[in-house]
Structure 1
Amino acid sequence: MTKYPRHLIESFMTFATLGNVVNAADTLGISQPALSRQLQQLEDLVGEKLFQKHGRQKVLSPIGQELFSRITPTWLNYDPLVDSVIAKFKDSPQNPLRIYGPAEILNKVALHIEFPHQLIFTPTRSQSVSTKVVGEEISLGITRLPPDNLQVTAKVLFKEGFQYIFPAKWKITPTTELRLLKKLETYPLVSYGEDFNFPEEIWSKFELGPAPRLIRVLPNWDVLQTMVENGLGWGIAPSNLIKKSPKILSQDVSADLMPHVTYHLLYKKDLIRIPWFKSLVNELLDTYK
Structure 2
Amino acid sequence: MKRFNIRQIEAFRAVITLGSMTKAAELLGVSQPAVSRLMADFQDAVGFKLFRRQRGGAEPTEDARRLFQQVEKLFTGLEELNQEVQAIRSVTSGSISIAAMGLYANGMLPDVIARFRQRYPDIAISLDGRSQDRIAEWVGSGRADIGVVTLPIALASVDVRPLITRPALCVFPVDHPFAGRELIKAADLADQPFVSFPRGTPFRFEIDSLFDRAGIERQLLTEATTHEAVCNLVAAGLGVSIVSAFSPHLRRDPALVFRPFLPAIPITIGMIADEACLSVAARAFHQFVLDEVERLDARPKGHTAKHDGKTVPL
* TM-score tier (shorter): 0.5 to 0.7
- Partner of 1:141 in structure 2? 147
In structure 2, stretches of 5+ residues that fail to align are 6-80, 297-314
- For residues 186 and 224 of structure 1, what CA distance do their matches in structure 2 show? 18
Written as runs of structure 1 = structure 2, the 5 A alignment for 1:77-96 is: 90-92=89-91, 96=95
Do the aligned partners of residues 205 and 145 (structure 1) sit closer, same or farther apart at CA in structure 2, a change above 3 Å counting? closer
Q: SS in structure 2 opposite 1:240?
A: coil
Count how many residue pairs are aligned between Structure 1 and Structure 2: 202
- For residues 181 and 213 of structure 2, what CA distance do their matches in structure 1 show? 20
- Partner of 2:97 in structure 1? 98
- Partner of 2:210 in structure 1? 202
Do the aligned partners of residues 89 and 243 (structure 1) sit closer, same or farther apart at CA in structure 2, a change above 3 Å counting? same
- Partner of 1:37 in structure 2? none
- Partner of 2:189 in structure 1? 184
The alignment status of 1:152 with 2:158, answered yes or no, reads yes
**TM-score, normalization: structure 1?**
0.57
In structure 1, stretches of 5+ residues that fail to align are 1-22, 28-82
- For 1:267, give the aligned amino acid: A
- Partner of 2:250 in structure 1? 243
- For residues 88 and 142 of structure 1, what CA distance do their matches in structure 2 show? 27
- For residues 112 and 98 of structure 2, what CA distance do their matches in structure 1 show? 14
Q: SS in structure 1 opposite 2:237?
A: coil
- For residues 276 and 240 of structure 2, what CA distance do their matches in structure 1 show? 45
Deviation of the 1:162 alpha carbon: 0.6
- For residues 137 and 88 of structure 1, what CA distance do their matches in structure 2 show? 23
- Partner of 1:261 in structure 2? 267
Q: SS in structure 1 opposite 2:283?
A: helix
Spell out, residue by residue over 1:8-44, the C-alpha distance to the aligned partner (whole angstroms, 9 max, x if none): xxxxxxxxxxxxxxx99xx9xxxxxxxxxxxxxxxxx
% same residue: 13
The alignment status of 1:281 with 2:280, answered yes or no, reads no
Spell out, residue by residue over 1:76-133, the C-alpha distance to the aligned partner (whole angstroms, 9 max, x if none): xxxxxxx9xx799554587643111201202221233233321111122222323321
Deviation of the 1:233 alpha carbon: 0.7
- For 2:109, give the aligned amino acid: V
Deviation of the 1:152 alpha carbon: 2.7
- Partner of 1:112 in structure 2? 112
